[in-house]
Structure 1
């Protein structure tokens, strides 16, 4: 990838303006490098660089559609190919930090406003024309999965072994919950939603929502998956300080019993994934903590 100096030069060449400073951001987005680049007169930009040539092929169009729907999204200032065969995109800077970092300082009223606003954004996006397939695509695209359940792989019916590891036990329980939510999956049509709008990509400053980011693709399927993913990140990364926000998201969506169970399945799915990731790198204490969190979420889904 590139360093700060190369990032500044890329922005200078693309915008024909002399950068004052470039600083790599400690974020990860699908292998992208992300920089904040400051320009004269108090302006700042975001530079995203990917090793893939077509990483941002649909980002500008997606953002344009979302802006027309009055979502506070970024504007593309420039984009193109890098000398190494990858691609870059430059966007305006939106102040604030990811919601996960702001929740501990937020009061309940602020959490409610953000939850209601994020839900409203998702419901606006859900009014876009539906797709012919399920999964990830640019807005108006047609992903290739014929059914929503297909994105989770083939279902299995194996039982829990007596000597199974905690992770194996969680996975077996997760498979059982999945079987119970298959009727909900079968009832779904491919509705557009912003799957990565969770505790990240929702930028908040002093308790107020400033904007939403990262729309290279959208997802067609069940919008409640974004709620489940948010619940998982709240439980794993924020803890008690984020519990009320999760409750407010569920209140805003008011899912029926079958949809609520599916939402908790999505949360458990991500949590079990977090356990597996911690276990794989030998983070025993973190894996043990996450096993307990995933157990609680699975218990809610099982009832």
Structure 2
């Protein structure tokens, strides 16, 4: 997937990054030691072969000068903080970080080197038909169980793992939703709806957010494509950059409750242990889908994505506004 935020680097720079992370004895010869991993819309990602034959992954934040949305500033630092927390406070599998560099002197941005996980991307393999329906079902159930384990991690405040923090969930969620609307206004994004109308829909239902009183760890982006599978089991969770302390009901694996385009959430819910939803919980889930739909729509401009992606995102926004009682 292509995006102007991808900070691609020459083999010369990649060698310099390997030297800093692993030492001069591990700098590879030749030009074929690096392969760009193309999935994902935001960061540049390379699988590299070290001189001793071991493999690693280099992840590079967007270059300076590229317009970013409010929550995207410093996201790589949030990801590092989230990975360290998950490894310390749970048994959920995440790659080991080998080196973290925030100097910006090699590639003009934050970057880190991490363990290469020898496994298939669950979402890509499922879409390609490489997994049986039984394995796909079990994979989503396993993701739900891992999500439940992650939610057991409790923070002191609400908001991104690396801050800023908020005392209450209504304050945190409403501030971050307002930031996305402001991102859209700043970039001149046509939501297909007046932004004040969208904000009023949020405000009219936001009282249910007060039901959330414990700041629990949420990956937010726990999609199938952000997990690795081997022999029918999820062996790693990747892409933790949007992780925060918030409401477990906002996790991506539940998006199919509201938007038919997304995978059936039944096996995820089974692993998560989520049966029925109260009226308040269902409204909260609708609000999080609204937040996601606006984010996906605004991203199409910031990422310079295709008109087709923009039209699709507008359709998702129409659907969720309907769920919250707003129709044209």
Match of 2:150 in 1: 125
Question: Relative to 1, partners in 2 of residues 1:178 and 1:292: Cα closer, same or farther, differing over 3 Å?
Answer: same
Matches within 5 A, 1:1-303: 1=7, 2-16=9-23, 17-19=26-28, 21-28=33-40, 30=42, 32-40=43-51, 42-50=53-61, 62-68=82-88, 69-80=90-101, 81-84=103-106, 86-104=109-127, 105=129, 106-132=131-157, 134-138=158-162, 143-144=165-166, 146=168, 147=171, 148-153=173-178, 167-168=192-193, 174-175=198-199, 177-189=201-213, 190-204=215-229, 208-216=233-241, 218-227=243-252, 230-231=255-256, 239=261, 243-244=263-264, 246-251=265-270, 252=272, 253-254=274-275, 255-278=277-300, 283-302=306-325
C-alpha separation in 1, matches of 2:140 and 2:50 = 33
Question: Relative to 1, partners in 2 of residues 1:35 and 1:283: Cα closer, same or farther, differing over 3 Å?
Answer: closer
Q: Is the 8 A contact 2:253 2:268 kept in 1?
A: no
Aligned length: 283
1:177-235: per-residue Cα shift (whole Å, max 9, x none)? 52453232111122221122224322235754231113356301112212377549985
Q: Is the 8 A contact 2:92 2:149 kept in 1?
A: no
C-alpha separation in 2, matches of 1:9 and 1:184 = 51
Residue ranges of structure 2 left out of the alignment (5+ in a row): 1-6, 65-72, 182-189
Q: Give the match's secondary structure for 2:263.
A: helix
Query: How far does residue 61 in structure 1 lie from its aligned partner after superposition?
Result: 5.5
Q: Is the 8 A contact 1:130 1:192 kept in 2?
A: yes
With CA pairs under 8 Å and 6+ residues apart, which has the higher RCO, 1 or 2?
Answer: 2
Alpha-carbon RMSD across the aligned residues, in angstroms, is 3.8
Q: Give the match's secondary structure for 1:19.
A: coil
Question: Relative to 1, partners in 2 of residues 1:282 and 1:95: Cα closer, same or farther, differing over 3 Å?
Answer: closer
1:10-56: per-residue Cα shift (whole Å, max 9, x none)? 213431313360123324565x4321101255421011233589765
Residue ranges of structure 1 left out of the alignment (5+ in a row): 157-164
